[in-house]
Amino acid sequence: MTGLYTSSIEMVEVSPRDGLQNEKREIATADKLALISRAISAGTRRIEVTSFVNPRAVPQMADAEAVCAALPSRDDVTYIGLVMNQRGADRALATRRIDQLGAVAVTTDTFAMANQGQSSDGSVDAARAIIEMARASGRTGQATIAASFGCPFEGEVAEDRVLAMALAIAEAGAVEIGLADTIGVANPAHVARLVARVREAIAPLPVRVHFHNTRGTGLANVWAALGAGAVTVDASIGGLGGCPFAPGAAGNVATEDVVNMLERAGIATGLNLAALIETNHWLAGVMDRRLPGMVAHTPAFPAAA
Ligand code: ZN
């Protein structure tokens, strides 16, 4: 394979947070914990378990503390809590169960205002402060740059803007920079170019990628990102997900679809495809609807002996 493909990559399971945050009907805390346990059983070793945001803005995440209190005790699993500001970071750190703070910086002022009530520069400052708080308390911090490939309100986003944000956040001591296609407008050529530029700029810090499949380009973008040197991929079991503040946002790439693609291409993910598919079906029962992931609805290949 031409490119920077490695023999194994890391996956981050984001279904308990990104996957569920946009669901209208309340998901029971016990079901969230069952989802987390199932993901860990399927091999997940890094998982975004919740977000510490204003429960009036994102009611589905109002049980963040309750979820954290009941997380399985696993030294080999990194639990990520998403936070937008110092108040959220304080809450996450107070649970004593969050290993890593995930901050979010947004590329444009309009989306930053809708998503977190601040300017784009303000979101970079906030991400830096969150990362410093994580470090000061012996945890790690990373940030995701939302709308790296396009903004729901302002359209195209300059690559230089993303690069400058990545550098500013890396300087604060982030352990990783994530590039997110929050609204699913990225194409593989754009992804390959921007991942390569950011990777070179922040090396040796790793680049994580986060794609939504809004327009069907999610898996192609994952493949392009890995070829350009990204080493970690966010995904959501069942392809659940969406941003409450981005009009038309659809699901994340489905974990089981990414795993199917990569494992068949010879790239190890550490995840068990059959267990993920079973979890898709279980989660569909919880949500009472068919989930958008694809491989969970097809016959096994090769057929089981
Ligand atoms: Zn997302």
Distance 98 CA to ligand 1 centre (A): 19
Q: Which residue has the tokens 């890391």?
A: 10
Q: Is the pLDDT of residue 258 over 70?
A: yes
Q: Which residue has the tokens 């590329």?
A: 107
Write down the catalytic residue from 105, 126, 165, 243. 243
Average pLDDT over residues 26-55: 97
Rounded-to-integer distance, Cα 19 and Cα 78, Å:
18
Residues 193-230: tens digit of each pLDDT: 999 999 999 999 999 999 999 999 999 999 999 999 99
Distance 21 CA to ligand 1 centre (A): 10
- The amino acid sitting at 228 is A
What is the span of the domain harbouring residue 242? 10-297
Q: How many domains does the chain have?
A: 1
Which pLDDT value is given to residue 246? 72
Average pLDDT over residues 117-129: 97
* 1: in domain: no
Q: Is the pLDDT of residue 278 over 70?
A: yes
Whole-model pTM: value is: 0.96
Rounded-to-integer distance, Cα 21 and Cα 241, Å:
7
* 196: in domain: yes
Active site residue 68: no
Distance 233 CA to ligand 1 centre (A): 12
Per-residue tokens: 156: 């195209």
Query: What is the pLDDT of the chain when averaged over all its residues?
Result: 95
Distance 303 CA to ligand 1 centre (A): 33
* 3: in domain: no
Q: Is the pLDDT of residue 245 over 80?
A: no
Distance 48 CA to ligand 1 centre (A): 11
- Least confident interval from 111-120, 240-249, 264-273, 277-286: 240-249
Q: Which CATH number is 96's domain given?
A: 3.20.20.70
DSSP, collapsed to helix, strand or coil, labels residue 100 as strand
Which pLDDT value is given to residue 304? 66
Q: Is the pLDDT of residue 242 over 90?
A: no
* 5: in domain: no
